Amino acid sequence: MRALRCSAAPRIWTTCAPNLSSPGRVRPPVTKDKILDARSDDDQFDLTLRPRFLAEYVGQVQVRENLGILLEAARRRDEPVEHVLLCGPPGLGKTTLAHIIANELGVAIKVSSGPAIDHQGALGSILLNLTTRDVFFIDEIHRLNTVVEESLYPALEDFRFDAVLGKGVGASAATLPLPHFTCVGATTRQGLLSGPLRDRFGAVYRLDFYTKPELEHIVGRSARILEIEIQADAISEIARRARGTPRIANRLLRRVRDYAQVRGDGRATMDTTRHALALLEIDEIGLEPLDRRLLETVVLKFKGGPVGLDTLATSLSEEPETIEDVHEPYLIQVGFLARTARGRVVTELGYRHIGVSPPQPESQQTRLL
């Protein structure tokens, strides 16, 4: 294989990109399904409610402080920010922080996701359309396939894209220079990231569930932006049932607003809020029907556990990833579920929450018999 170095990346890429596709197929430089414009992809409400700068961001105090130092240091040195990896359960603000990084630096952000970047050509199309100091946000980065991930390594470390042009004996390697950009990766499952990929991020931050006062602040701010007339105790009630997650808090606020406008006088009172959340089957601490069904299944079908993830998912007719990423983190956080080496186990608190008496521990004499 002979090596070829391309000095004018955009021009060379225009002629070489088709060779990275399957025979007979020509891929355009950028396609809408591979790179997502935040303004068209995000829900309008989320765009309205999303804080744009660190000063507006509520919660995640340690992450916010460390990120602020990282950004200010890069500004003072007049250099691009190191690559950033954001980890944590869904809805805690990873995407918001990626946009904040771009806004704080005054640069553009290109948004895509692991499943969307499904081949080397798609990755190259995005990378070669970046400009210096742009932010490239990859959501669900743990879902990149192996070929794409390995193509990303030199881009992150040496700011180059290595492409193989042609097939068979006529194939050649091309090294395409890239501008110095900042990659922000987001993942709900840090353990699925390979070591080489994780090590190429200079800053790794983990986001945790929010406190009730932080969520009250977020709900109050969102209510003001959306011009919702809401009582203080209603704000507190929404925050209490939001599972420590801003995305859920804002979703519940919008549903309460809908209920108040249709079934009430438009004001979100405490009674209106409780009726709206009861209709949604959101209980006093934020558990949804599937959360309760999960606990009941482990208790009633599997005697409280332990039960394996795949078996539990089959019993609930859900994907294992949905249970592991969406439902388990909060159930573990509130102490209703425990993960052990043998499987999932419902705790005494979990038993009591679903109205079932926890099993009594066996006495030593009973065990001997």
Q: Residue 240: which residues within 8 A CB-CB, separation 6 or more?
A: 212, 284, 285, 286
Q: Which of 12-16, 215-219, 265-269, 320-324 has the lowest mean pLDDT?
A: 12-16
pLDDT band for position 166 (cuts 50, 70, 90) = low
Domains of the chain (ranges; CATH) run: 2-206 (3.40.50.300), 212-279 (1.10.8.60), 289-364 (1.10.10.10)
Model's pTM, two decimal places? 0.81
Which residue in the list 50, 64, 94, 251 is annotated as catalytic? Answer: 94
In degrees, rounded to 5, the angle at the alpha carbon of residue 348 between the alpha carbons of residues 342 and 353 is 115
pLDDT at 172: 75
Examine the pLDDT at 32 and tell me if it is beyond 50: no
Nearest partner of 178 among 129, 236, 238, 251, judged by Cα: 129
Active site residue 95: yes
Query: From the candidates 64, 110, 200, 247, which is the catalytic residue?
Result: 247
Q: Is 173 helix (H, G, I), strand (E, B) or coil?
A: strand
| Per-residue DSSP letter, 86 | E
Total H helices, total E strands in the chain:
18, 10
* Active-site residue, from 34, 50, 64, 95: 95
Per-residue model confidence as pLDDT tens digits over 39-78 = 433 355 567 889 999 999 999 999 999 999 999 999 999 9
Do the beta carbons of residue 284 and residue 236 sit within 8 Å?
Answer: no
Q: Which of 96, 182, 188, 273 is catalytic?
A: 188
Q: Let me know how long the chain is.
A: 369
Are the C-beta atoms of residues 93 and 60 closer than 8 Å to each other? yes
Give the up-direction half-sphere exposure of residue 347: CA atoms within 13 A in the CB hemisphere. Answer: 12
Mean pLDDT of the chain, nearest integer: 86
Cis peptide, bond prior to residue 306, ω within 30 of zero: yes
Phi, psi (rounded to 5 degrees) for 210 = -85, 155
Q: What is the pLDDT of residues 351-369, one digit of tens each?
A: 999 999 988 776 544 555 5
Q: Which residues pair with 110 in a beta bridge?
A: 136
| CA distance from start to end of the chain | 74
**Stretch 149-158: mean pLDDT:** 95
What does the pLDDT look like over 298-340, one tens digit per residue? 999 999 999 999 999 999 999 999 999 899 999 999 999 999 9
User: CA torsion angle for 311, 317, 321, 324 (degrees, to 10)?
Assistant: -60
Q: What is the pLDDT of residue 173?
A: 78
Single out the residue of 163, 93, 103 nearest to residue 133, CA to CA.
103
Paired strand residues for 338: 345
Q: Is the pLDDT of residue 22 over 70?
A: no
Concerning whether 167 is annotated as a catalytic residue, the answer is no
Q: Are 325 and 278 in contact (CB under 8 A)?
A: no
Give SS3 for 345: strand
Known active-site residue 188: yes
Instruction: Give residue 46's pLDDT.
Output: 67
Does 183 have pLDDT greater than 70? Answer: yes
Per-residue model confidence (pLDDT) at position 146: 94
193, burial (CB in 10 Å: exposed 0-12, middle 13-18, buried 19+): buried
H-only helix segments in the chain: 9-16, 38-41, 44-49, 61-77, 94-105, 120-127, 146-158, 195-199, 212-225, 232-240, 246-263, 270-279, 289-302, 309-316, 320-322, 328-333, 348-353, 364-368
**Predicted pLDDT at 243:** 95
Burial class (CB within 10 angstroms; exposed 0-12, middle 13-18, buried 19+) of 39? exposed
Catalytic residue, candidates 134, 139, 291, 292: 139
What pLDDT score does 163 carry?
79
Task: List, for residues 335-354, the tens digit of each pLDDT value.
Answer: 999 999 999 999 999 999 99
